[in-house]
Amino acid sequence: MSTYTITVEPVGREVECDEDQTILDACLRAGVWLPHSCTHGTCATCKVDKLDGEVDLGEASTFALMDFERDEGKLLTCCAKPREDVTIEADLDVDEDLEVHPVQDFTGTVLVLEDIAEQTKRLVVELDREIGFNAGQYMKFTVPAATVDGAEVGEVDRTWSIASPPGETTRLEFHIRNVTGGRGTDGWVFASLAEGDQVRLSGPYGRFVLKTSDDKHAILVGGGTGVAPLKSMVRHALEAGEYDGDLTLYAGGRTRAWLYDVATFRELEEQYEEFTYRPCLSDETPEEVEASGDDPHAYAYGMVTDVIESDHERLGGCRGYLCGPPAMVDAALKTLMSRRLFPRDIFREDFFDESDKNSSGLKSPLIKR
């Protein structure tokens, strides 16, 4: 197998990269931080200029990397693999709150695999050694080869956000929503994965992290399992005393059956006066909640965006952290901006899946991810 040198400008760092390895993977493993988010060619966060050399562009979405951009020499580092020595120019403006932890490979043992909400499982993995990561980052799992519809298919990678705080360095928690027909979910986690199994994973990845040097009121908005990285942020901020501002978590679900860890967040709300928890039900009414014997006043009603609009006339001076399905993230973004929160103070993590490769995954370049 051939190995080539990747030169990263403007810093002049040189990284060795195998011909079957992506440029992003080689750089992150060498401790050279490059911008990235989805890591599967959909979001365009990792787009850079190729100054010299030939690459295989890989499976980059034609929406994330358009034909004219390919002609101009741009590439997505999460997909591109070198065919000779390559020089790229990248935005290396690393956030001061982002401690760079080189990507490493780990073997983990499944300690917990349990149902926590409708079509949602909690996965807890014990790693073979300690890991360093920032609250909000994610891991990449290797999904084993399998037989699908009578055909043998090879290994694939799937990414899930870490829900546990950085202080837990060997025991990582993940929240996983089932996707019908999904190789990683329907075909593995929800089908055959079991407690005691060994898994292979690598990380940490991602720039969606809590700004720990901040003292602004953080508005955290999660749809479905988008709550996972927000839980890591909340616990890190509160339990480790790593944040000086207030935090409000808006967690959206159709009904109570789709929400999870409600008791955990309410306990944190009781313990820390700077934290507010707002579970939001879009398809369940106060009357239905009361009829079931639950307290209707313990929930907000309507879409998460409706609740935020009702709670706040203005959000200037706050920070926004948005995570979940792209449609929800887009709607929450518009809501926060309508309440006078500037784009520079909004950070987002869109939960794309493989189907998004064939649809537009591009977002405003003003939004940091």
- Contact between 80 and 23 (Cβ < 8 Å): yes
- Listed in sequence order, the residues at least 6 apart from 50 whose beta carbon sits closer than 8 Å to its beta carbon are 73, 74, 75, 86, 87, 88
Q: How far apart are CA 61 and CA 97, in angstroms?
A: 30
List b or e across 68-98, with b for residues whose CB sees 16 or more CB atoms inside 10 angstroms. Answer: ebeeeebbbbbbbbbeeebbbebeeeeeebb
**CA 201 vs CA 23, 111, 165, 264: distances in Å:** 19, 15, 18, 27
- What letter would DSSP give residue 288? H
Tell me the CATH architecture of domain 218-358. Answer: 3-Layer(aba) Sandwich (3.40)
How much is the pTM?
0.90
How many Å separate Cα 8 from the centre of its chain?
Answer: 25
- At residue 364, the pLDDT reads 35
* Residue 368's pLDDT band (cuts 50, 70, 90): very low
- At residue 365, the pLDDT reads 32
Domain ranges of the chain: 3-89, 104-205, 218-358
* Residue 100's pLDDT band (cuts 50, 70, 90): confident
Structure tokens that stand for 123 in this block = 């996965």
- At residue 354, the pLDDT reads 56
Average pLDDT value for the chain: 92
* Residue 367's pLDDT band (cuts 50, 70, 90): very low
Mean pLDDT of 150-173: 93
Class assignment of domain 104-205? Answer: mainly beta
- At residue 352, the pLDDT reads 66
CATH topology for the 3-89 domain: Ubiquitin-like (UB roll) (3.10.20)
Q: What is the pLDDT of residues 27-69, one digit of tens each?
A: 999 999 898 988 888 888 899 999 999 999 998 888 899 999 9
Q: What is the pLDDT of residues 209-264, one digit of tens each?
A: 999 888 999 999 999 999 999 999 999 999 999 899 999 999 999 999 999 999 99
Q: How far apart are CA 94 and CA 35, in angstroms?
A: 8
Q: How far apart are CA 275 and CA 273, in angstroms?
A: 5
